[in-house]
Amino acid sequence: MLLAAVLPGAGISAFAAVLEVNPSGVLQDAAGRAKSEISGVYRTVQEAVDAAGNMDTIIILPGTYREPVDTYGKVLYIEGTDRDACVLCWSAFDYEAPPLEMARGSLKNMTLHAMAAGEEGTYGKSYAMHVDFDEAADCALYCENVTFINDYHQTVGIGLRPGSVVDFYNCELRAAGGQSALYVHDWEAAPEAVEGGQLLMLRSCTLVNNSDTQPTILLQSQEILPGAAQVLFSDNAVANVSEGGPEISMMLYPGREAMGGGYLGGADWTLSVFSSGNSVPAMNHPLAAQYLAKAAQESAKGSNAQSPAQQVQKAGAADVQPGHGILVDGGLQLHEH
């Protein structure tokens, strides 16, 4: 199964700009950068997104930004200066206007909060972050040190695309309204249109919900192409605080015949052999210790072989370059160029 590799610095322009978001609208401390590095200062996050070019960085200073933000059409690197003090919040009642819609680039050091406020929109409830654009194909989204909260609906909703990598590291996802903290489905196109693997990664994250019926993590299989999507779980704490409530479940796409097999009964999904250290046994691969030991040996020998987690962690949020890697036994083997 072919999977795009995430390469450090690949495709990043030397002319990328740095924009700042500050409630005062006045450049104050340049967020630790030289003031000459800042190309513009904006009062709202969306204003900065609209002004930014592809591959630009947006620095967000402390404040509560009450607005929905949509980054469609751009690869952006959005960084708060304080995880708890940089808060982006909006209503959890409008599917078309969540606090953040994003598919490529990176998001760091912020809190996203979908609040139980306002009237329900035409298409119902929203996520705190929605990742479901076709432009995500052959690209990566990297989230680090981010808190996601939803008072009413599923906290983060993701629709994977061919060749896409979505990676969460040291993040917290909290569902306060009786729904799942994370909902992810694989791509729903016809089999002949699926040309690349899809990878979801959760590493050193905390996920919490409170529901008798809804799992903390909900995966959905389109039952179209067996093995098209893979999930890698590493060192996560997952808890459904409702007594007896499920922590992870697979849902098959309604109306489609089950193909059988696959991770948790979802034919389109596989569990990476590097999945280990998670609080929920079903999230750990039985052969993880063996494969991790092998990867460590190869690394000690100077081998190019790395797990997907190691490779994405090294690359951060660099744009994905298609065709540079092959997913083999759950590991992303890279080739020299």
Residue 115's DSSP bridge partners are 91
- pLDDT tens-digit readout, 130-140: 999 999 999 99
H/E run at residue 89? strand 86-91
Report d(CA 214, CA 179) in Å as an integer: 6
H/E run at residue 308? helix 308-315
Report d(CA 290, CA 310) in Å as an integer: 16
Tokens of 106: 């990176």
Locate tokens 């609209």: which residue?
50
To the nearest whole number, what is the mean pLDDT of the chain? 83
Domains and their CATH numbers in the chain: 5-334 (2.160.20)
Please report the pLDDT score of residue 131 as a whole number. 97
Spatial CB neighbours of 267, under 8 Å, sequence gap ≥ 6: 221, 223, 226, 227, 258, 259, 260, 261
Least confident of 25-34, 112-121, 214-223, 231-240: 25-34
- pLDDT tens-digit readout, 210-237: 999 999 999 999 998 888 899 999 999 9
| Phi, psi dihedrals of residue 156, rounded to the nearest 5° | -125, 130
Tokens of 124: 């119902």
Residue of 232, 229, 171 whose CA lies nearest to 205: 171
Please report the pLDDT score of residue 36 as a whole number. 58
Report d(CA 188, CA 162) in Å as an integer: 10
Spatial CB neighbours of 35, under 8 Å, sequence gap ≥ 6: 27
Residue 325's DSSP bridge partners are 334
H/E run at residue 220? strand 217-221
Report d(CA 276, CA 71) in Å as an integer: 33
pLDDT band at 32 (very low <50, low <70, confident <90, very high): low
